[in-house]
């Protein structure tokens, strides 16, 4: 099985689903090295941290797209 996109998420369960957390990071790669993905909610001229809600919505959008992807989530339980 071939994937068009490889996603890695350093997940944090701290605070609330809408809290912007520095420890919550999203990276993705197509053919090269992974690149940090900024939250779509951030204005173009700003860097914001992700929220868990935004990560979930972004993953749902990836699932609805036509590209095959695999996502790994580093989540300590």
pLDDT in tens, the chain (77 residues): 699 999 999 988 889 999 999 999 999 999 899 999 999 999 988 989 999 999 999 999 999 998 999 999 998 76
pTM to 2 decimal places: 0.89
| Among the listed residues 28, 46, 45, the one whose alpha carbon sits nearest the alpha carbon of residue 37 | 28
Beta-bridge mates of residue 70: 6
What is the reported pLDDT for 25?
95
What is the reported pLDDT for 75?
82
- The two three-digit tokens of residue 39, written as one number: 């939250």
Q: What is the DSSP letter of 38?
A: P
CA angle at 7 for the pair 76 and 70, rounded to the nearest 5°:
95
What is the reported pLDDT for 36?
95
């Amino acid at each position: 099985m071939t994937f068009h996109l490889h996603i890695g998420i350093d997940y944090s369960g701290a605070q609330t689903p809408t809290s912007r957390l520095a420890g919550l990071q999203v990276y993705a790669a197509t053919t090269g090295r992974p690149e940090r993905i900024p939250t779509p909610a951030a204005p173009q001229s700003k860097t914001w941290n992700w929220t868990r809600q935004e990560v979930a919505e972004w993953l749902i959008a990836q699932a609805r797209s036509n590209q095959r992807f695999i996502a790994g989530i580093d989540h300590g339980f």
